[in-house]
Amino acid sequence: MSLLARYRDLLPITDATPLISLAEGNTPLIAAPRLARELGVRELLLKFEGMNPTGSFKDRGMVMAIAKAVEEGARSVVCASTGNTSAAAAAYAARAGLEAVVIVPAGKIALGKLAQALMYGAKLVAIEGNFDAALDIVRKMGDSYPITVVNSVNQYRIEGQTTAAYEIVDVLGDAPDALCLPVGNAGNITAYWLGFQRYHQRGKTTHLPKMLGFQAEGASPIVRGSAFDKPHTLATAINIGNPASWQYAVSARDESTGCIDCVSDDEIVAAWRDLARCEGVFCEPASAAGVAGLRKLVQQGAAPPDARYVAVLTGHGLKDPGLAVEQFSPPQPVPPSMTAIERVLGW
Ligand SMILES: *Cc1c(COP(=O)(O)O)cnc(C)c1O
C-alpha cells in the first residue's frame, strides 16, 4: 500500500487528493549491534531513509506536497535545495505531470543529486549564493507567480514526513527512548516530534522519545543562537545558516527534554565511515551526524547507555560517491597475476 494510503487517517488527505506514489516510505529499521557496542549503548537501530525512491527522506514530504499541489490545481512547483529536496521535487513532479523549478547554490551540490534533478526533467537554476539565499528567492517567487513552493515551509512537507515516526512505532510497538538525527533546515526534527506526539495522543506509545538533533559545527545556528552568514560543512545537506523551522526545532528539543548540539566534520566523517564499515550501511555524510552526536553525548555522560536509540540515516551514500572515494588513496593497477595480487594484499 502506498505511504499516503497507509497513513491516510493521519494525513491531510481528502477524497480529491490523488494518492500518487513511487513506493516511498516503509524504510528498514536496521539493528546496529556492533556500532552500539562500540558507542557503548544497549541498543541502536538505524532508520535507513536512503532506501526511499530518490534516496532520501525528502520523498515522504514531497509525495504529500505534490499530491496537495495537484489537488489544488497547481501546474508547477518550485524549491530551493541543497540537493535532495530538488531530486524529490523533480521526481514527484514528473510522476504527477507538473513542471518543477529548482534553485540550487552553485558548486555546493553533490553530483548524484544534480544528476537526479536533471534526469527527472526539472528546470534547474544555479545561483551564486548559498541555500539561504536560494530559499529567500523561492519565497518571493511563490508570492509573485502561480507556483507552489515545496520547501519545508510548505506544511504538507512536514505532514508527509511525520510518517517516519509512525513507521518506527509501528515496527517497535512503542517509541524509542531517544531519536538521533541531523538538523539542517530543521523540518525533519519538527515532523518527527509532531508524529510521535500524535501517535502518543492516540495511545500508540507509552512515552515520548527525547529528540537529539545535531548540526555541523560550521553550520550550527540553533546551537549558537544566531544565524550563520557563511555556513560551511562537508555535510552539504545540512549546510544551512538560518533554518526555516528553527523555532519548531527548539520546541521539539525543549518539550521532549532532548538537545540540539553540534558535531565537527571530523566526527561526522568518522561516524559515516563506521556505519559503512561496522554495519554495512552506507549513508551520505550529513546522515551520519546523528550517530556522531550520539557518540559525543555518550562520551560526555549525557546519554544513558541503558536505552534504546534510533538514529535516522537521512540519505543514501551513493548520492555523493566522490567524497567517499576521496577518503582513500586510489588503488594502483598491478599486472593480472596471482603474485602481484598477493603482494598488494600482503599475503
Ligand atoms: C534535508 C536533509 C537533512 C536535513 O533535514 P532538515 O529537515 O532540513 O533538518 C539531513 N540529511 C539529508 C540527507 C537531507 O537531505
151-167 pLDDT, tens digit each: 988 999 999 999 999 99
pLDDT at 280 over 90: yes
Q: Which residues pair with residue 102 across a beta bridge? A: 79, 124
pLDDT at 286 over 90: yes
pLDDT at 109 over 90: no
Residues in the chain: 347
Interval 76-108: pLDDT, tens: 999 999 899 999 999 999 999 999 999 999 988
Residue ID of nearest Cα to ligand 1 atom 1: 237
Going by C-alpha positions, the residue among 109, 81, 129 that lies closest to residue 229 is 129
Q: What is the pLDDT of residue 261?
A: 98
Residue ID of nearest Cα to ligand 1 atom 15: 84
User: Could you tell me which residue, 82 or 12, shows the higher pLDDT?
Assistant: 12
Q: What is the pLDDT of residue 294?
A: 98
pLDDT at 72 over 90: yes
pLDDT at 194 over 90: yes
d(CA 252, CA 232): 25
What integer best gives the mean pLDDT of the chain? 96
Q: What is the pLDDT of residue 107?
A: 87
Which atom of ligand 1 is nearest the CA belonging to 181?
Answer: 10
Q: What is the pLDDT of residue 188?
A: 98
Residue 286 alpha carbon to ligand 1 centre in Å: 7
Q: How confident is the model at residue 265 (pLDDT cuts 50, 70, 90)?
A: very high
In angstroms, the Cα distances linking 134 to 81, 85, 89, 102 are: 8, 13, 15, 9
Interval 208-225: pLDDT, tens: 999 999 999 999 999 999
Residue ID of nearest Cα to ligand 1 atom 5: 184
Q: What CATH number labels 58-156?
A: 3.40.50.1100
CATH architecture designation of domain 3-56+161-325: 3-Layer(aba) Sandwich (3.40)
Please, what is the Cα angle at 36 between 324 and 262, to 5 degrees? 60
Q: Is 84 in the pocket of ligand 1 (CB under 6 A)?
A: yes
Residue 309 alpha carbon to ligand 1 centre in Å: 19
Q: What is the pLDDT of residue 93?
A: 98
Task: Indicate the domain borders of the chain.
Answer: 3-56+161-325, 58-156
Q: What is the pLDDT of residue 330?
A: 85
The fraction of the chain above a pLDDT of 90, given in percent, is 94
How large is the average pLDDT for residues 226-251?
96
Q: Is 182 in the pocket of ligand 1 (CB under 6 A)?
A: yes
How large is the average pLDDT for residues 217-239?
96
Same topology, domains 3-56+161-325 and 58-156? Answer is yes
